[in-house]
């Protein structure tokens, strides 16, 4: 009897904690990965299918091109030019805000960029790629069909798992959970190194670096000293994305929740 009362009490505490943080079930379909854009649209993908949802959780559009392979990454920094990367074919497809292709696929092999690579948008018509084999950062100007190659070798083991840019495309970050963070400016010039380990996922919004260090999501102002503060924590978080005043979180069971943090 005592054990039953304790279990009930614990369930109530967990429920109240979730309610206080504004957590509610958002999208019924399950996904392996997701991201958001600045308009708070949500993009979830599994295998070769990409779905777009409104901020209310309504399915808007979907895109699939099985001939390209499985989708490895989606970057929705520019809602009218969404980047979809396929590692298997080492190709990029750009989509408009209704998930319709813009032009032909971009084959990175044609630009002499070998996979595996990390890739993200780094401007209205510019991409940033990190090549793991030769430790080079490559900036691709799609207008001029030109590439700029930057050497990223460090006096340590550095094998980044993520590459992200801020929303103004003024800063680029490579993250290795076992080593730390390497920061570059919009010209590809190395800025600084932060030897902070254990980051599993990250996002930059203006000068705020948001990152996951299980089970907590932290925020750190990059203009201040390195002093991360906790924002929200749940078990089994895979990734997250902050859009406007809401946080969207992907859990290991494939569900995406919307979290409103009330301070």
Instruction: Using alpha carbons, select from 40, 91, 78, 84 the residue that is nearest to residue 64.
Output: 84
Q: Are the CB atoms for 179 and 195 separated by under 8 Å?
A: yes
Please write the tens of the pLDDT for every residue from 152-181.
988 889 999 999 999 899 999 999 999 999
Query: Which domain, by its residues, includes 60?
Result: 31-111
Residue 197 counted as domain residue: no
Residue 100 counted as domain residue: yes
Question: In CATH, what number is assigned to the domain containing residue 64?
Answer: 2.40.10.480
pLDDT tens across the length of the chain (263 residues): 444 443 333 333 333 344 445 555 578 899 999 999 999 999 999 999 999 999 899 999 999 999 999 999 999 999 999 999 999 999 999 999 999 999 999 999 999 999 889 999 999 999 999 998 889 999 999 998 899 999 998 888 999 999 999 989 999 999 999 999 999 999 999 999 999 999 999 999 889 999 999 999 999 999 999 999 999 999 999 999 999 889 999 999 999 999 987 65
Give the strands of the sheet with 237-243, arranged side by side.
Answer: 23-27, 256-260, 246-251, 237-243
Q: Are the CB atoms for 169 and 182 separated by under 8 Å?
A: no
The DSSP call for residue 99 is S
Q: For the residues of 150-177, what is the DSSP string, one character each?
A: EE---SS----SEEEE-TTS-EEEEEET
Give the strands of the sheet with 91-95, arranged side by side.
Answer: 73-75, 82-86, 91-95, 106-107
Residue 253 counted as domain residue: no
Residue 213 counted as domain residue: no
Cα separations in angstroms, 51 against 13, 95, 136, 232 = 34, 12, 32, 26
Please write the tens of the pLDDT for every residue from 205-215.
889 999 999 99
Cα(247)–Cα(200) distance, integer angstroms: 17
Cα(190)–Cα(153) distance, integer angstroms: 11
Residue 1 counted as domain residue: no
In DSSP terms, which residues pair with 167 in a beta bridge?
none
Cα separations in angstroms, 16 against 198, 234, 258 = 29, 13, 16
Residue 55 counted as domain residue: yes
How many domains are contained in the chain? 1
Cα(87)–Cα(261) distance, integer angstroms: 35
Q: Are the CB atoms for 16 and 8 separated by under 8 Å?
A: no
Helix (H), strand (E) counts: the chain: 1, 24
């Amino acid at each position: 009897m005592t054990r039953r009362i304790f279990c009930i009490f614990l369930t109530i505490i967990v429920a109240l904690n979730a309610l206080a943080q504004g957590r509610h079930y958002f999208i019924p379909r399950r996904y392996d990965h997701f991201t958001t854009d600045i308009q708070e649209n949500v993009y979830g993908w599994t295998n070769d299918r990409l779905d777009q949802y409104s901020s209310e959780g309504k399915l808007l559009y979907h895109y699939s091109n099985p001939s390209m392979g499985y989708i490895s990454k989606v970057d929705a920094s520019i809602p009218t030019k969404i980047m979809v990367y396929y590692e298997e074919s080492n190709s990029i497809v750009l989509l408009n805000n209704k998930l319709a292709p813009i032009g032909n696929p971009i084959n990175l092999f044609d630009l002499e960029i070998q996979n595996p690579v990390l890739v993200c948008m780094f401007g209205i018509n510019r991409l940033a790629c990190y090549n793991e084999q030769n430790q080079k950062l490559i900036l691709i100007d799609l207008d001029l069909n030109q590439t700029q190659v930057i050497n990223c070798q460090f006096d340590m083991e550095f094998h980044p798992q993520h590459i992200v840019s801020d929303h103004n495309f003024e800063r680029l970050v490579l993250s290795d959970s076992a080593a730390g963070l390497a920061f570059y400016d919009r010209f590809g010039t190395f800025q600084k190194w932060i030897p902070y380990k254990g980051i599993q996922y990250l996002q930059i919004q203006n000068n705020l670096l948001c990152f996951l260090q299980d089970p907590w999501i932290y925020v750190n102002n990059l203009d201040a000293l390195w002093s991360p503060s906790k924002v929200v924590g749940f078990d089994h978080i895979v990734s997250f994305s902050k859009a406007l005043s809401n946080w969207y979180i992907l859990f290991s069971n494939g569900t995406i929740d919307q979290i409103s943090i009330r301070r």
